[in-house]
């Protein structure tokens, strides 16, 4: 298939990383992909050196800017896609407008945000009439979407879990001591990691409060990797509570950094199918996750980690205390976490799911037009 993939994200985060992974994976499988992205985006910087992926620059800001519509239509006329994938809602609206003057092809919305569609006339028009299919990354997200937009046909919604390459995301025990030395953490400390964008929904403050309340003799540290709008707030809280927290900043060597950790905590209450959770699991870490959003689809309580009550640091502290005191259980949960990713949430399984969904959508669109 010839595919145009529109992603207007500018900053670093799970949305652009999954777009990059999907684009490169589809190219590996023989598809011709043109990725439309912002000229000053992290996504473009990450992919601009890849010889097999075509990049087109469109600075999408407003939803229906006439000049951006013209730019995207020009890309479509040049590439003649069989199908277009649009990530953000403004990408969908721009793609629908551009299609009117640039070809006849189905549009697929890849919906990874935790907020569902709205039950309004404009959403009914774009998503009920102009978008041929939606891909969501969890069943909980699909259910929320169908509840908020009952007019949306269930047959148009595909559930494809995010997937990770377990040959890249893997345990690296040989790097453990070296990474701990680099981070300035004692070799006998118990480290609980978080990596990702620090935003209001991530609830990283709960991890900080939990490690601050645990007895010092347990030598528990929080390792926070990443940046985002709530980073200053989290830093202030750690200082106020005198919490043992290591701020590692933005890192691209996630498997190497996670080799220093003993467990991982992701406590969001509003999120899609978390890439960071999958990466931590693939690296063999037992998980502490909130019993909310899509986390129960990723982590089974007592099997790959612990589900804790949303918004309560006390449950996080209890889970850390248990994992720190039971190395046998910790090893078993971490092994099971990696096995679950390899079996259920692999990169190959994700790519096959997309190929099947895109192929079905294209065939359905062509059949409808023939009729």
**Co-location of 65 and 200 in the same domain:** no
Q: How would you classify the pairing of strands 107-111 and 32-37?
A: unpaired
Q: Which domain holds residue 77?
A: 2-163+347-370
pLDDT at position 113: 80
The region that residue 219 occupies, defined by phi over 0 for left and psi between -120 and 50 for alpha, beta otherwise, is left
pLDDT at position 314: 98
Helices (H) and strands (E) in the chain, counts: 15, 13
Q: What is the domain-level CATH number for residue 355? A: 3.40.50.2000
Q: Give pLDDT < 70 ranges for the chain.
A: 12-15, 371
Cβ atoms 135, 108 nearer than 8 A: yes
| Total domains present in the chain | 2
- For the segment 65-74, what is each residue's pLDDT rounded down to a tens digit? 999 999 999 9
**Co-location of 51 and 91 in the same domain:** yes
**Co-location of 340 and 194 in the same domain:** yes
**Co-location of 301 and 244 in the same domain:** yes
Residue 168 lies in a domain: no
pLDDT at position 369: 82
Cβ atoms 333, 324 nearer than 8 A: no
**Co-location of 14 and 114 in the same domain:** yes
Is pTM, for the whole model, over 0.85? yes
pLDDT at position 86: 97
5 beta partners: 35, 85
Residue 72 lies in a domain: yes
pLDDT at position 153: 80
pLDDT at position 52: 86
């Amino acid at each position: 298939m010839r595919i145009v993939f529109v992603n207007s994200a500018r900053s670093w985060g799970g949305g652009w990383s999954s777009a990059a992974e999907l684009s490169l994976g589809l190219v590996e499988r023989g598809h011709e992909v043109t990725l439309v992205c912002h000229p000053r985006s992290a996504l473009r910087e990450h992919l601009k050196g890849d010889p097999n992926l075509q990049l087109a620059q469109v600075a999408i800001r407003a939803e229906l800017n006439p000049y951006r519509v013209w730019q995207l239509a020009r890309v479509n006329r040049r590439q003649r896609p069989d199908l277009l994938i649009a990530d953000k809602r403004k990408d969908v609206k721009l793609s629908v407008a551009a299609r009117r003057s640039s070809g006849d092809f189905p549009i697929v919305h890849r919906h990874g945000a935790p907020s569902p569609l709205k039950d309004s006339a404009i959403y009914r028009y774009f998503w009920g009439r102009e978008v041929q299919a939606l891909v969501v990354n969890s069943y909980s997200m699909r259910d929320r979407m169908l509840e908020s937009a009952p007019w949306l046909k269930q047959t148009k919604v595909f559930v494809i879990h995010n997937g990770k390459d377990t040959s890249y995301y893997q345990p690296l025990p040989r790097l453990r001591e070296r990474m701990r030395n680099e981070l300035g953490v004692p070799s006998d400390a118990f480290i609980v990691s978080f990596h990702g964008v620090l935003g209001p929904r991530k609830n990283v403050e709960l991890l900080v409060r939990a490690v601050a309340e645990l007895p010092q003799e347990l030598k528990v540290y929080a390792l926070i990797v990443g940046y985002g709008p709530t980073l200053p707030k989290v830093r202030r809280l750690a200082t106020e509570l005198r919490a043992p927290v290591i701020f590692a900043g933005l890192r691209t060597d996630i498997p190497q950094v996670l080799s220093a950790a003993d467990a991982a905590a992701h406590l969001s209450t509003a999120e899609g199918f978390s890439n960071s959770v999958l990466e931590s699991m693939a690296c063999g870490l037992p998980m502490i996750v909130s019993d909310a959003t899509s986390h129960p689809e990723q982590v089974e309580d007592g099997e790959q980690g612990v589900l804790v009550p949303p918004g309560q640091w006390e449950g996080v502290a209890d889970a850390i205390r248990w994992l720190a005191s039971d190395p046998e259980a910790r090893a078993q949960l971490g092994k099971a976490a990696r096995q679950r990713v390899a079996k259920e949430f692999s990169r190959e399984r994700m790519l096959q799911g997309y190929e099947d969904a895109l192929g079905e959508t294209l065939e359905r669109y062509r059949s409808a037009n023939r009729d």
